[in-house]
Amino acid sequence: MNQIFTVTGMSCAVCQAHVEKAVSALAGVKSARVNLLQNILTVEYDEKKLSSSQIIQAVEKSGYKAQVQRASTESVQTIAQQSEQLKYRFWYSVCWLVPLMYVAMGKMLPSFYPNVLNGSFVQNACLQILLTLPILLLNREIFYRGCIQLFRKMPTMDSLVGLGAGSSVLFSLCNVALGTIQGKSLDLYFESAAMIVTLVTLGKWLEARAKVRMTSAISGLVQLLPTQVRIKRNEAERTVLLEQLAQGDIMVVRAGERLSADGIVQTGTGTVDESVLTGESFPKEKESGDFVSAGTLLTDGYLEVVVHQVGTRTLLAQMVRLVEDAASSKAPMAQLADRVSHVFVPIVLGIAAATWIIWWLCGSSFSFALTCAVAVLVISCPCALGLATPTAIMVGMRQAAKYGILVKDASALEMLARITTVVLDKTGTVTTGQLQVAQVITAKGVSETELLQVASAVERPSQHPFAKALKEYVRAKEYSAKEVETFEAVPGKGVRGKIGGSVLLGGNLKMMQEYAIAIETFSLPAGQSPLFFAKDQKFLGTILFSDTLKPSAKNGIAYLNRLRKKVILLTGDNEPTAVAVAAQANISHVQAGVLPQEKEQVIGRLKTGKETVAMVGDGVNDAPALARADVGIAFRAGTDIASDTADVVLMKDDLTDIGIALELGVAVVRNMKENLFWAFFYNVLGIPLAAGVFFPILGWKLNPMVAAAAMSLSSICVVSNALRLRFFRPKNLKF
C-alpha cells in the first residue's frame, strides 16, 4: 500500500537522505520518497510485514517527528505553522540582537556609546552573555537537533550551524574566564554566534514562507469544494455536509455555485467554467446527459446532477493527487544532489577541522583560526542543494495543471525537455474519431440490405469507432439485425462472429487475405477507410468511413514544427487514408497499416536510433506504445487504459497542449540547472573564501556573520528563482 506521512524537523537535503535511508532499511518497504518542500514522506510498503507505527518509529529514531497524513492539506498547515513559529523566533531574536550588537560593537562609535556601558571587561562580557542567552534559548532547536544528529553520526545543516555558533560561544566564555583571571580584555564573539543563529532562522522563515506559497497552490484546489451541498430527495431540497454526500444523490446546483462531486446532468441546462481542471477560459454549455466535475463553477443556469463520484474518487481529487505524487517523485537530475548530500556534511566538517589546524600550525592566532573554521561551517549549508530540484518541479507541476496538463512524475517532466520526435496516433488524436459512413459498396448479386444486416450484426458487440459509426448509420436506416451467437475481436484486423452456424467476418484487407476471401477491387477515395464484410467465405461488400481533423490539429502540428520536433503519424489505417490525413495536418512522416503490437516496435526502433520519443494516443491499442515511449501522452477523453499507461494526461482535447508541455519541460529543466548552479556556486566559492584561502594573496577573509547571511541567501535565491516559473508562458504558441 501507499501511505503519506507528515515529517517535521527536516531542514536540508541531508535530513531528507537520512529519513529515506532509515525508512528504506525496514523490511517490507518497496520505496520511500521524501519531499523536502512539502515535508512529506511517501512510502510504498507491504502492510502484512510492516505497520505505519513502525515507519513512524524509524523516522523518530533518525531524529525527526512523523505522523500519518490525515488530509491532503495537512502538510501545508504544518509548514504554515512552522513559518509562524520561525517568524516569531526571528523577530524576538532581533529584539535581543540589536542591543547585543550595540553593546559589543558600540565602542567603534564612541560619541554614541554611553559611559554606563563603557565599564570593565567583565561587566561588558556579562552584559553580552545576558543578551545572548535569550537568543540561544529561542533558537535552541538548532543546537538540540544538531547535537542529536552529530552523536548519531548523521550530521545535518543544524549540526554545522550548531558547531559554528557553539564554538564561538564556548571560545568567548573561555576568554571571559581567562580575561577575568589575567585582568585584561580579550576577543569575544557572542554577537557573532547570536547573529549566525538569527540569520539562519531568518533564512528558514523565508524558505518556509515560499514553501507555503508553492504548496498552498495545490491544496487550494481541494478548498474549491463547498463544505455544504444542496440535494434533492422526495422532491424536497435539503442541505447536507459534503462528507454526507453519497453516490446516487441528486445534487442541486444554481448559478454562482461550485459543484461538489462528479456526476451526470439529469435535469436543467447551464454554463460551466471548467478552467480549474482544463485551463480553458471559455465556459461550456451543459445539458441532460453531460458529465460535470467537482470544483467547476456553474456561471449561469440551473442543474440537477446525479452524483457518480465523491471525495477522493472525483476527477479534481485525482488531479490533486497526481500533482502531489509528481512533486514527491524525483527527477534524474535530483540524483546528483542526493549523491552529493550523502557526503557533503562530513566533508565540510573535515574541511573546517583542517582549516583550524592549518592556520594554527601556520602561526595564526587561535581566534583567527577559529573564525575561519566557524565561517566554513556556517556557509556550507546544504539547504539550497535540497531545494534546487523539488522547488522547480513543484512550481512546474502547478503551471502544467493551470494549462490542463497533468504530469505524473518528475522524471517525465524532465524527459519532456529532451523530446526530439513526437509520434501521433490518427483516430481520436489527430482526427475527431467521430467516424461516419461515407459510402456502401455491395458485391455483385448482394443487396445493400443484406450487407448492412450482416455488418451491423457482427459489429454490434464491438466498441471500435468504426462499429459505433456503423450502428448509428444502421439505426437511421431502421434496419433490423440479429444477435451473433459468438463474438471475437481480432486486434488490428477486425471482428468475427457466428449466427446459426454461419461465420460472419468484418475487418480490413489483412483479415480478408487471412481467410482467403476474394475481394472485388474498387477505387478508394482519399481520406476514406474501408471495412470489408463476408459471410461463409462469400464477399458481401465494402463500407467506407470518413473522419475529420480535430479543430486544433493544424495549429498543434505547426506548433511542434516551430519547436523543431520530428512529427510522425502512426496508424493502423490504410496508407491512402493516412497520407490524406497527414497532408491536411501538414505532417511530413507517415507510417500506416501498423498493428497495435507493431506500434510498440516502431517506438522501439526510433529509440534505438537515438531518438527521444513522445507517443500521443487515446485508445486501448495505443497503450503498449505509450508505455514503450520515453514519454507517453494521452487525452483525458480517451480510454482509461491509455490514461493509466501515459506519463502525461492532457485534460483538454487540444493538440497545442503537446507543444506547451514540451516547452514547459524545457523551462523546468533550465530552472533546475540554474538552481543547482546557485546551490553549488555558493559552496564552491564560499568555502575557500571562508577557509581563508585568499587571505594571504588578496587579504580576503569572511566574517562568520557574513557567512550566515550568504548561506541564507543561497536558499532564498533558489526558491525565488523557482517561483519565476509561475510566469511561464509558451513562447512559440502562435495562431
Find the CATH number of the domain harbouring 529.
Answer: 3.40.1110.10
Checking DSSP bridges between strand 2-8 and strand 65-68, what pairing results, if any?
antiparallel
How many H helices and E strands in the chain? 24, 25
In the chain, how many domains are there? 4
Q: Is the pLDDT of residue 337 over 70?
A: no
Q: Are residues 441 and 298 in the same domain?
A: no
Cβ distance 156 to 11 under 8 Å? yes
Instruction: Give residue 480's pLDDT.
Output: 72
Instruction: Give residue 562's pLDDT.
Output: 93
Backbone angles phi, psi at 233, to 5 degrees: -135, 130
Other residues' Cβ atoms within 10 Å of the Cβ of residue 233: 10
Q: Is the pLDDT of residue 564 over 70?
A: yes
In-domain check, residue 184: no
Q: What does the pLDDT look like over 55-98, one tens digit per residue?
A: 988 888 887 888 887 665 555 667 777 788 888 988 999 999 88
CB within 8 Å of 204: residues ≥ 6 apart = 11, 86
Q: Is 425 a catalytic residue?
A: yes
- Catalytic: which of 158, 262, 425, 647? 425
Helix (H, G, I), strand (E, B) or coil at 274: coil
In-domain check, residue 695: no
Alpha-carbon distance of 434 to 644, in angstroms, equals 23
Which of 295, 313, 331 delimits the end of a domain? 313
DSSP 8-state class, residue 248: T
Domain of residue 410, CATH code: 3.40.50.1000
Instruction: Give residue 251's pLDDT.
Output: 92
Mean pLDDT of 141-150: 80
Report pTM. Answer: 0.63
In-domain check, residue 612: yes
Which of 526, 546, 566 delimits the end of a domain? 546
Q: Are residues 413 and 467 in the same domain?
A: no
Alpha-carbon distance of 604 to 624, in angstroms, equals 11
Q: Are residues 494 and 568 in the same domain?
A: no
Other residues' Cβ atoms within 10 Å of the Cβ of residue 705: 22
Q: What does the pLDDT look like over 438-460, one tens digit per residue?
A: 889 999 989 998 999 899 999 88
Who has greater pLDDT, 527 or 539?
539
CB within 8 Å of 463: residues ≥ 6 apart = none
Give Rg (Cα) of the chain: 34
Instruction: Give residue 535's pLDDT.
Output: 93
In-domain check, residue 354: no
Tell me the CA distances in angstroms from 26 to 17, 52, 337, 441, one per residue in order: 15, 11, 24, 68
Place of cell 523490511: 27
Q: Are residues 427 and 440 in the same domain?
A: no
Q: What does the pLDDT look like over 361-383, one tens digit per residue?
A: 888 877 788 778 877 876 776 66
Range of the domain at 446: 436-546
Alpha-carbon distance of 289 to 299, in angstroms, equals 19
Domain of residue 252, CATH code: 2.70.150.10
| 3-state SS string for 406-468 | EECCHHHHHHHCCCCEEEEEHHHHHECCCCEEEEEEECCCCCHHHHHHHHHHHHCCCCCHHHH
Alpha-carbon distance of 629 to 571, in angstroms, equals 16
Helix (H, G, I), strand (E, B) or coil at 253: strand
Pick the range with the lowest mean pLDDT from 7-11, 494-498, 506-510, 544-548. 7-11
